[in-house]
Amino acid sequence: MTRKYFGTDGVRGRVGDEVINPQFIMKLGWAAGRVLAREGRRKVVIGKDTRISGYMFESALQAGLSAAGINISLLGPMPTPAIAYLTRTLHAAAGIVISASHNPYYDNGIKFFSADGTKLPDDMEHAIERELDKPMSVVDSAELGKASRVIDARGRYIEFCKSTIPSVMEFRDLKVVVDCSHGATYHVAPSVFKELGAEVIAIGVSPDGLNINEKCGSTSPKLLQEKVLQHEADVGIAFDGDGDRVIMVDNRGEVVDGDELLFIIAQSRQAHGALSGGVVGTLMSNLGLEQALAEHDIPFVRAKVGDRYVLETLRERGWMLGGESSGHLICLDRTSTGDGVVAALQVLAAMMDSGRGLHELKSGMRKYPQVLRNVRLPRKMDIQGIPAIEQAVKKVEQTLGDKGRVLLRPSGTEPLVRVMVEGADPVMVDRLARELADEVEQVLAA
């Protein structure tokens, strides 16, 4: 069944469009509530990031859920992975996140977690979409859902994060710059690292509803690089707006991306005999990651782009570790979904265990130059099977030979085609990516 509203990561768009508006979000809450009520479970938790529209959509969801007879526990601004964790520990039927992750403030979205803190199963998404096509109704007044606020949500999640590394481990010798992207981790992440003994310089911790992800965080690490060098810090840590991604910076001010962090965690797990299988990456994972893992006899497979596909592959294989270049890392031996704070703690633990800095740890992996360019779609369309685009891709592949890769894929969250070229020669890769993106843009505009 084709989804009408749900994408790869819930429902997302620009505030005020045909779905990201109060009327639709209220109906979405009602539809989700109807599905949950049929299963006999009548409690959900709702959390949000710091964008200004979150207040409006929180109220809309409450109204819809209450009309369906569902009780609501409000978490306030909390990282997406915290909402997944609290869904489990509060024994809720589902968790609802109001966030557009790394997108600008004028976007927003709704995504759901199941009772076990994982992405909602496809059959439930389909059931919710079927309810959306029905006229909205209201349960009897005596059965309306009630809303209450969880006052200790922040403290619960902080303690959970700290529990994901050995209790005897401390970070007292580390100076850490933490960039919270003016997002959902602003009142959580600095406390986690401080309570574990690190000296913390916190930036991106003054959300005003409009500055989330603005020239900061994991999608814009330049500010973090500058601060690490300015403060002579050992490491920098940057999260995205909802806290499910992490990018780090070493003491030289060099960015350490998700592929490199995944390699560091995998190598550390292997050294402790705790890897439990191999590593799952995606079609976008750097060729250097695959080769570095192979040198350590660590199996590696690629899933489709998107954390839900990484998670599916991990569960199919019974493996524990996977992630994306963007910094969405999943440690299933620690939690049920991608968690930026938890992933960062695993990297810091690897540094403490090995006695080596982040720069030295990442040197075990040689990244291939990889250039990613975005081409905006003029309308919703499938680019597969367009002869002119296939011919342009084939031409670039022939130029690279067996020393590189080309990948074109539509974004799961924005009206974009992502054009990726990877190879050994950075100058050639940049040129080929630029030329290919230009050709794709011209074909789509014709």
DSSP H or E stretch at residue 226: helix 222-230
Give the pairing of strands 416-423 and 404-410: antiparallel
Which residues lie below 8 Å from residue 123, measured CB to CB, with a gap of 6+? none
For the record, the structure tokens of 235 come out as: 């490491």
Residues 439/396, Cβ–Cβ less than 8 Å: no
101 is catalytic: yes
Which residues lie below 8 Å from residue 33, measured CB to CB, with a gap of 6+? 44, 64, 65, 66, 67, 68, 69, 70, 145
Select which of 53, 101, 285, 325 is catalytic. Answer: 101
Question: What phi-psi label fits residue 112: left (phi over 0), alpha (psi between -120 and 50 degrees) or beta?
Answer: beta
Give the pairing of strands 370-376 and 416-423: antiparallel
Helices (H), 282-425: 287-295, 307-317, 340-354, 358-362, 387-400
Which residues lie below 8 Å from residue 246, measured CB to CB, with a gap of 6+? 218, 237, 238, 239, 258, 261, 327, 329, 340, 341, 343, 344
Give the pairing of strands 107-113 and 11-14: antiparallel
Q: At what angle do helices 258-271 and 287-295 cross, to 10 degrees?
A: 10
Whole-number CA gyration radius for the chain: 22
Is the four-CA dihedral 438, 444, 445, 446 of positive or negative sign?
positive
**Would you please indicate which residues are annotated as catalytic (active-site) residues?**
101
